[in-house]
Amino acid sequence: MDFSWSEEQTSMREQAYKFGKEVVAPRSAEMDEKEELDWEAWKQAAEFGFQGMVVPQKYGGLDLDPLTICITMEGLGHGSRDVGFVTSLGAHMVICEIPIVEAGTEAQKEKYLPKLVSGEWVGGYGQTEPGAGSDVAGMTAKAEKKGDCWILNGSKTFITNGPIGDVFVVLATIDKSLGHKGITAFIVESSFEGFKRGRKLEKMGMRASPTGELIFEDCVVPEENVLGEVGKGFKVGMSTLVWERATMLPALVGISEARLEEAVRYAKNRVQFGQPIAAFQEIQHKLANMKMHLELYKTIFYRVAWMKSQGMPATLEASVAKLFFGEVSRQDALDAFQIHGGYGYMKEYPIERDVRDCIANTLGGGTSEIQRSIIARELLKMYD
């Protein structure tokens, strides 16, 4: 087993780290405060190629393999320490572009991918509804065929990039009684007749990533915008969520690394009882636990990404990674917060934002409970 990185992977991580540090990090706190995406960083990210990492070169992308994307996203998170920015980028690149790359027709790829890669268009993914979160098959957004168009009615909520997106991969049902077999994926442009943005939602954390509602009122979607086959949207959605776990979350692993580095520095500099608090075993053990977790996050996410690079589904492994990271990284953030004492509660230290951002690690892309259900389902298939 070879754990070394190629020259390309090492270079991409270093460049992504530098980009995060120099371009994203300086305005992270301000964007969190304003609850806005950093458009300047967005533009520069597109010039770097981030928005096109998953896209074939034919459509302007970098066509990187999943392991290289994982390592690059980790570098970006490490340098930027900005969950908001990497979440908006991830929603655009992973859960909007990947379904188009995987299930799109040639005409769809030619129409949408170049503009998404260049950053001119912002992408998003609309699955969750006010009444259907974990229970995806319970969605009620309806698609009805009328002539050579589909008419969408219903709404979506919690949609990353909802308030700013130009193109969304949207799941809707053609017949609710068919359950997941009725779900169909569509590519919906914000300029389509009947598309409306609902509320922009105020969040506890990840505030530099705009989140909102999408409303479809007799929204007219041309037939050629069905993504994949009619009735096969659930499969598109589930595959997309595995990709999310494999390639979006590594950015948050990079953020965990930045948090650990800062906690070590703080512990070495903060003096109490005549010595740095880093001298106290309680503090050392918190730092040691954080390091142990970081190494495990990396190992498991690299393996998931490697499996995706080999064309394996990695359904179980991606859920194990998401579950472990989601739950344990929250505790890491709280430990780092505790090391900062009262200063950690003040906005002048980035740990205050980290704690708010981290709380959602057990929610987005499937809750911890749902990850456990997926793992159990896969396990039950494995042993007679």
Ligand X SMILES: Cc1cc2nc3c(=O)[nH]c(=O)nc-3n(C[C@H](O)[C@H](O)[C@H](O)COP(=O)(O)OP(=O)(O)OC[C@H]3O[C@@H](n4cnc5c(N)ncnc54)[C@H](O)[C@@H]3O)c2cc1C
Amino acid at 42: W
Q: How far is the CB of 328 from ligand X (least distance, A)?
A: 17
Q: Residue 287 forms beta bridges with which residues?
A: none
φ/ψ of residue 276, rounded to 5? -60, 140
Q: How far is the CB of 87 from ligand X (least distance, A)?
A: 7
Using the Cα atoms of residue 197, residue 27, residue 86 and residue 108 in order, give the sign of their dihedral.
positive
Chain residues binding ligand X by CB under 6 A are 91, 124-128, 133-134, 158-160, 206, 211, 360, 363-367, 369-370, 373
Nearer to ligand X, 264 or 358 (CB): 358
Distance CA 245, CA 59 (A): 24
Nearer to ligand X, 149 or 359 (CB): 359
Burial class (CB in 10 A: 0-12, 13-18, 19+), 380: exposed
φ/ψ of residue 169, rounded to 5? -85, 120
Q: How far is the CB of 301 from ligand X (least distance, A)?
A: 19
Nearer to ligand X, 238 or 360 (CB): 360
Q: Is 244 a catalytic residue?
A: yes
Residue where the block lists tokens 């992504």: 16
Cβ atoms < 10 Å from Cβ of 285: 11
Write out the two tokens for 112: 């949408």
Distance CA 218, CA 226 (A): 16
Distance CA 219, CA 349 (A): 45
Q: How far is the CB of 96 from ligand X (least distance, A)?
A: 9
Nearer to ligand X, 9 or 211 (CB): 211
φ/ψ of residue 38, rounded to 5? -85, 95
Write out the two tokens for 46: 């597109």
Choose, from 244, 257, 262, 317, the residue flagged as catalytic: 244
Q: How far is the CB of 164 from ligand X (least distance, A)?
A: 12
Q: How far is the CB of 207 from ligand X (least distance, A)?
A: 10
Distance CA 157, CA 135 (A): 14
C-alpha to C-alpha distances, 279 to 266, 267, 293, nearest whole angstrom: 12, 8, 21
Nearer to ligand X, 77 or 126 (CB): 126
Nearer to ligand X, 159 or 278 (CB): 159
Contact 183, 172 (CB under 8 A): yes
Distance CA 49, CA 300 (A): 26
Q: What's the distance, Cα to Cα, between the start and end of the chain in Å? A: 30
Which residues have a catalytic role annotated?
244
